Chains A and B, each alone.
Chain A
């Protein structure tokens, strides 16, 4: 019962976080737009009549609409986009024994978790990795790389799929998929807006130069501060959004490990699987930075990959594998003790 309550709380928290993510995303874009409007409005307020006055907040309306559009798109097509970006292909008719086994294992885990069977995808990449995506259990997909199928035994594969199934069950996939769409959009937007601002401010300066250079120098201090602050947000946004994505995903990995172990009742298989995944530390090339937080192990382990501590915690999307393995081994040990007692 407490397991069910726990799961429910987790789902609820993910639903709430997804909503806040969408709100935060739209508010951020509105700030970028309307903030820009305000800055330009103040800058051009003193301009002599006949010159351009920025009165209608076109930027703000535009960015807010775009943000809403991106949210809708991430919600509707985010999963498809992620799968497409990794070059994954769906396995409908398993052709090889490996594929057969994969489909079977996914079916097993679907039964164990009591959820509908997710779609199965294979990513043509030799580095072992896996991820799940989708809005909810009904639209979920689980993708594994070719390398994973080759490297793991049946039990280990089951552990990995159980971990992914746990993400689906917890509704982690919803938050993660939305985030993947937004991280990509923010990076793109920040580039584009940066270019626009550079072009735009040059235009204003040129326009002001004709009127009165001295007045422009004294300028409206509020407008300058606002403009600087606004530019700063644009610069920092991609980094912040990525750190947010990483932070949101780290805690979930421990939880999905634990829930997955509950499904298979075999935590040690997942532990050895994780060790194998870590040992094969070649970067997963098919998986880009924007979807990194979806994966079971970091596709491009950085310098901090094996380190522990505050900075490693803040900057990596995944907790150190050694800690995850240790926790799973602890569970396995407890399980054995319990089995011996009964």
Chain B
């Protein structure tokens, strides 16, 4: 009789634990998806801003055509990238191309004075920062999710929750790791 009660209690506890762990995993999975969406929103915003910037500076910087074209090419590549790793790589290249463009605008004081460029630059700086912070958040949440599903005992129900490791957003490029600044008031033209 007592034995049966103990057994029952153990089973109930076990079921409760499974429910808790399962819900925890699903919650984290949704958090990862949400954090990724945050990055996505900012990436899209950056992609939308770039044509504006290119149109604004096009007239004044006609002979720097190759730089502008590099920005546009990098942007188009980034728009079409899918998957975490590919997106991270394409966006990294776009960041570099933009950095070069902003470094060049330094040589055109008139351009800076029009205000429009300064405004676009502020927007792009902010978007870039937001991408960075969203990436921090994404990586933090994804790491927590990955650790949870790979450690005992949650490991046992990872299959039931259809949990698979989330890919981290890695910085693939050494120049990007150095955090390029796109603030023209402080940036010196790249050598």
Contact = CB atoms under 8 A, between A and B. Distances in A.
Interface of A: 1, 4, 97, 100-101, 104-105, 107-109, 111-112, 114, 154, 158, 263, 265
A100 B120 CA distance: 11
A123 to B, nearest CB: 22
Interface size class of B (residues with CB under 8 A): 10 to 19
19 contacts: A1-B147, A97-B119, A101-B122, A104-B122, A104-B125, A104-B129, A105-B126, A107-B126, A107-B130, A108-B130, A108-B133, A109-B133, A111-B38, A111-B130, A112-B136, A114-B35, A114-B137, A154-B183, A265-B136
Interface string B113-125: 0010011001101
A111, A114, A154 — most chain B CB neighbours (10 Å): A111
Contacts of B119: 97, 100
A97 B137 contact: no
A111 B122 contact: no
B144 A112 contact: no
A108 B126 contact: yes
Interface of B: 35, 38, 42, 115, 118-119, 122-123, 125-126, 129-130, 133-134, 136-137, 144, 147, 183
Contacts of B136: 112, 265
A100 B119 CA distance: 9
Given A107-B126, A111-B133, A97 B144 contact: no
A162 to B, nearest CB: 10
B32 to A, nearest CB: 12
A111 B134 contact: yes
A150 to B, nearest CB: 15
Contacts of A114: 35, 137
Nearest to B31: A114
Contacts of B35: 114
Given A108-B133, A111-B130, A111-B137, A97 B123 contact: no
Contacts of B137: 111-112, 114
A259 to B, nearest CB: 14
B130 A154 contact: no
A1 B35 CA distance: 17
A295 B31 CA distance: 33
A108 B136 CA distance: 12
Nearest to A101: B122
